[in-house]
Chain A
């Protein structure tokens, strides 16, 4: 075990840095810039039961210290993922986290069953996508919905199950507890915050979907707060994400209670961000003579 390695939901990660689902595709595009083996893991593009074309463009809008997206889960479907992408990813010496989304219970069940028969390392269950009309966030905004999807996925797989939570709720800690009670091995948070931009000349929303998910440094303090609240409410491990751009952000998120970190929009600003964060954490642990596991949840609140 190195000073940056972590064990999360029973899986060993060489470091806690994982590109977030939807920001990294299946890794091909970034492999030209650095070996994927440098990464703790990869949370791959969200996968649905069948091919999804995604939303009409524009799908991207810049915001102060961040961005909105309304991609709408464009993906080739679970069979294509298992056939075309997973075998290749499994040769890359990094943890492969599948990310799944459905528009109803049956779709979640079907995808999780299919993944259970593969050698994917972990299943992240998206119950919080703000950009699709059916399903997605609808399940993630109530304890009952979150519990129901957790129960279904849990019943068909022995893989570690990580529920990805929406910040667009009154009490994210209660939703996390509902997932824990149904057997989730971990939770990840936060998905994007629902936002909107309007072009004042055309009086049209910039996004064709009108609204979209806010990410980037703008959401970081919200994410730290929610990770802290959830980590204090559940015993299962917490994967923190939302605006993490530097190694200092990663340390802050870990102090709040995250033992694994996903990096998303920062990759768009700097494709090397995950590697720079890993290097920063390596130097930090050496300088402080600590292991990263020593700092998880060690914020000392007033």
Chain B
């Protein structure tokens, strides 16, 4: 079930340059949301809503947490909204991550602004998770404390080594996989990163789910705009990021 509503902003924080953290009150959507789903937000004055992944679900408070980057004028309009005003949202949307039992071992990988949807996964698996997250540099690092609080093993990477270790998340993944064999790998981030992770998971025959993005119109699966190339029984099939995804099994995704 999805809901269209005006969700009051009850907390808003600027957590890095151009990156905003908001908690919005939407009890119906919060009750049904699962990790990996997204919220489609109206940017007043723009035709198309902005899909933003869910970074936190608090069913008791009836809130969803969203962390997003100002990428253009539309996200800037959303970022300018103040506490007390409301976001016009449709949520929860999309097909989220498959969650295994909490005693299973998960490797959770976030690249840059792909990190927010990984936080609820880290909370689910807690100490049985290894979280690898990477950023350009120390100033771009977000959600470190949130991930620390989950009790997961944590490897922070930056391209320039100004925070955590220097290098890419894919290097850290290679290292983690030498030490353990997870039941599942989850990843969200740039396509080149996802491609490398998908290849690595396939090589070791480890289940892998990745969260994709694509230019989107309706957000609910009606317009067929946000196509993603997948393969099914060796046939190419266009699935849709907003409804079949954003989370896909890595082995079905055809990387361009």
Determine if B42 is an interface residue (Cβ-Cβ < 8 Å).
yes
Tell whether, in the assembled complex, residue A33 and residue B47 are in contact, meaning their CB atoms are under 8 Å apart: no
Question: B216 at interface (Cβ–Cβ under 8 A)?
Answer: yes
Please tell me if the beta carbons of A65 and B215 are within 8 angstroms of each other in the complex: no
- Could you say which residues of chain B place their CB within 8 Å of the CB of A22? 223-224
Is the pair A71, B90 in contact by a Cβ cutoff of 8 Å? no
**Contact indicator B227/A57 (Cβ below 8 Å):** yes
Partner of A24, one of B1, B3, B219, B222: B222
Cα distance A291–B47 when bound, in Å?
31
| Residues of chain B with a CB closer than 8 A to A54's CB | 224, 227, 238
- Whole-angstrom distance between the alpha carbons of A25 and B221 in the complex? 8
- Which among B4, B74, B225, B236 has the greatest number of chain A C-beta atoms within 10 A? B225
Complex: A217 Cα to B48 Cα, angstroms:
12
Determine the chain A residues whose CB is within 8 A of the CB of B243 once the complex forms. 29
Residue pair B220, A30 in contact (C-beta under 8 Å): yes
A270, B42: Cβ atoms closer than 8 Å: yes
Which of A28, A60, A217 interacts with B215 by CB under 8 Å? A60
B100 within 8 A of A: no
B142 within 8 A of A: no
Within 8 Å by CB of A53, from B222, B223, B237, lies B237
What are the interface flags for B1-36 relative to A under an 8 Å C-beta threshold, 1 for contact and 0 otherwise?
A: 111100000000000000000000000000000000
Q: Which of A10-18, A101-109, A261-269 contacts B (4 or more CB under 8 A)?
A: A261-269
Known: A60-B226, A67-B47. 10 other contacts (CB 8 A): A25-B223, A29-B221, A57-B238, A69-B217, A69-B225, A71-B227, A268-B219, A269-B48, A271-B220, A272-B4
B222 with A30: CB separation less than 8 A? yes
A-B contact pairs, 30 of them (CB 8 A): A23-B223, A25-B223, A25-B224, A29-B218, A30-B220, A33-B2, A33-B4, A53-B238, A56-B227, A57-B215, A59-B224, A60-B48, A60-B215, A60-B223, A60-B225, A60-B226, A62-B74, A65-B47, A67-B47, A69-B217, A268-B48, A268-B217, A268-B218, A268-B219, A269-B42, A269-B48, A270-B42, A271-B4, A271-B90, A272-B4
Asked if A67 and B48 make an inter-chain contact with CB atoms under 8 angstroms apart, the answer reads yes
Q: Given A268-B49, A269-B49, A271-B4, are A29 and B215 neighbors across the interface (CB < 8 Å)?
A: no
**Chain B 201-229, CB within 8 Å of chain A: the 1/0 string?**
00000000000001111111111111111
**A28-B224 Cα distance, complex, nearest whole Å:** 13
Whether B237 and A268, one on each chain, are in contact in the complex, defined by CB atoms closer than 8 angstroms, is no
Tell me the bound Cα distance from A56 to B4 in angstroms.
30
**B57-94 vs A: 1/0 string, CB under 8 Å?**
00000000000000000100000000000001010000
Closest chain A residue to B72 by CB distance? A62
A185 to B88 CA separation, bound complex (whole angstroms): 40
A-B contact count (CB 8 A): 103
Q: Does A66 contact B (CB under 8 A)?
A: yes
Report the minimal beta-carbon distance from A123 to chain B, rounded to whole angstroms.
Answer: 21
Q: Count the B residues whose beta carbon is within 8 Å of the partner chain — how many?
A: 32
Contact in complex: A71, B47 (CB < 8 Å): no
In the complex, A74 has a CB within 8 A of chain B:
yes
By the criterion CB–CB under 8 Å, are B2 and A59 in contact?
no
Q: 4 nearest interchain CB pairs? A: A25-B222, A60-B225, A29-B220, A60-B215
CB contacts (< 8 Å) of B220 on chain A: these are 29-30, 271
A32 within 8 A of B: yes
The 8 Å CB contact of B226, one of A25, A59, A216, is A59
B residues within 8 A CB of A59? 215, 224-227
In the complex, A61 has a CB within 8 A of chain B = yes
Residue A58 lies at the interface, judged by CB distance under 8 Å to chain B: yes
A54-B227, A71-B225, A216-B47 given as contacts; is B2 within 8 A of A60 (CB)? Answer: no
From known contacts A62-B47, A67-B48, A269-B47, infer whether A56 and B226 are also in contact, taking CB-CB under 8 Å. Answer: no
- Chain B proximity of A201: nearest CB distance (Å): 13
Question: B219, B226, B238 — which one has the most chain A CB atoms within 10 A of its CB?
Answer: B238
Distance between Cα atoms of A217 and B225 in the complex (Å): 19
Which residues of chain B are near A67, meaning CB under 8 Å?
Answer: 47-48, 217
CA of A99 to CA of B238, assembled, Å? 21
Chain A nearest CB from B49 CB (Å) reads: 7
Q: In chain A, residues 209-254, which have Cβ atoms closer than 8 Å to a Cβ of chain B?
A: 216-217
Considering the chains assembled together, what is the distance between the CA atoms of A54 and B227 in angstroms?
A: 9
When chains A and B are docked, how far (Å) is the Cα of A60 from the Cα of B219? 12
**CB-nearest residue of chain A to B228:** A57
